[in-house]
Amino acid sequence: MSTKTFKAFYVEETEEGSFKSEVQQVPFSFLPKNEVLIRVRYSSLNYKDALSASGNKGVTRTYPHIPGIDASGIVQEDRSGTFSEGDEVIVTGRDLGSNTSGGFGEYISVPADWVVKLPEGLTLETAMFFGTAGFTAMYGVKRLQREQIDPEGGRVLVTGATGGVGSLAVFFLAELGYDVVAATGKMNEESFLKLLGAKEVINREQVTNVGNSLMLSRKWNGAIEAVGGEMLDAVIRQTNHDGAVACCGNILGHELNTNIYPFILRGVSLLGIDSAICKMPMRLKIWDSISKIDVSKLPNRFITTVHLEGLKDEVERILKGGQVGRVVVIHD
């Protein structure tokens, strides 16, 4: 097999320390020697992929590398005996696309315990409408539900609402009957967010420009907070008694400067979401929940499809904050 090649979006570090990416043929010997070989049919573009594609060594330690933290495809062989040739499967998270060759190649080789059989109700393509972003959003929903944040309890906030995680959190929550407030810096996308199901769309500054009081007026019963930094602090201070905030992003920063009073005087819960290392029983439950969502209700413009050759432009777009919705990568 080592003499054969496959097409991939391949990122290299130059002698000058810069990074270049191009679509090229890569030998199968580049793949790690894991149990399950999968022919990738679809992938998707996430912010983490864009970081890896641009040489961020906090995401990817060594180059050359093939990014892509999401993949759906068909099992070619499985030395573990867990899957059969021809099985349709999904791989998201774990180390895929970070330091293990990812879904921007036509093939991946991964451990068997990274692989999820495609649930009924999803196709290989629609699974990548959701991918890690949808998985993370649904994980946040389930964590809120575990804290008994139900639709009857009051409004639920979603920050970073036009991004992959945020937009799908809006959609999932609305489909489950919640009154969703979507916070965004892109107020020109208000109609798009309302198509996803948001009852109200607010400028993100309405959340963050609220002063330094240790606690603020209670505005929402729960939140899926997808950007971090000062936004997370502000959301915590505005959450209802016995409310909960699911935290899953750090675009605005990795530090959290807050105070203890929302936790000890209001009983607010801060819920961490680590979708990469989610244990398999929970992973299966999340994908099962996603498979029950009616994908036909997503707005037409929610999905942008590209082939590998179109990825470079989309990487630049997401790094500049210009992505809205999801970008699905199609392998020929």
- The token duo for 137 is 């959003």
Residue 105's nearest CA partner among 30, 2, 6 is: 6
Half-sphere exposure of 331 (CA within 13 A, CB side): 27
Residue 2's pLDDT is 52
State both tokens at 80: 């573990």
Residue 90's SS3 state is strand
Q: How far apart are CA 263 and CA 153, in angstroms?
A: 18
Q: Give the pLDDT mean for 236-261.
A: 93
Q: Does position 160 have pLDDT exceeding 80, yes or no? A: yes
Mean pLDDT value of segment 267-292? 94
Closest CA to 326 of 43, 39, 23: 43
Q: How confident is the model at residue 113 (pLDDT cuts 50, 70, 90)?
A: very high
Residue 21, CB-side half-sphere exposure with 13 Å CA sphere? 25
d(CA 92, CA 298): 21
Render pLDDT for 56-104 as a digit per residue (tens, 0 to 9). Answer: 999 999 999 999 999 999 999 999 999 999 999 999 999 999 999 999 9
Could you read off the pLDDT of 123-155 as tens digits, one per residue?
999 999 999 999 999 999 999 999 999 999 999
Give SS3 for 277: coil
223 CA to centre of own chain: 16
DSSP for residue 87: -
Mean pLDDT of 289-313: 93
* 295 DSSP assignment: G
Say whether 304 sits in a helix, a strand or coil: strand
Q: pLDDT of 172-205, one tens digit each?
A: 999 999 999 999 999 999 999 999 999 999 999 9
What are 39-59's pLDDT values in tens digits? Answer: 999 999 999 999 999 999 999
Amino acid at 55: G
DSSP per residue, 250-313: -TT-S-----SHHHHHS--EEEE---TT--HHHHHHHHHHHHTS-GGGS-GGGEEEEEGGGHHH
Say whether 286 sits in a helix, a strand or coil: helix
- Residue 1 confidence class, pLDDT cut points 50, 70, 90: very low
CA angle 197, 329, 1 (to 5 degrees): 145
**300: pLDDT confidence band, cut at 50, 70 and 90?**
confident
Work out the pLDDT band at 320, boundaries 50, 70, 90: confident
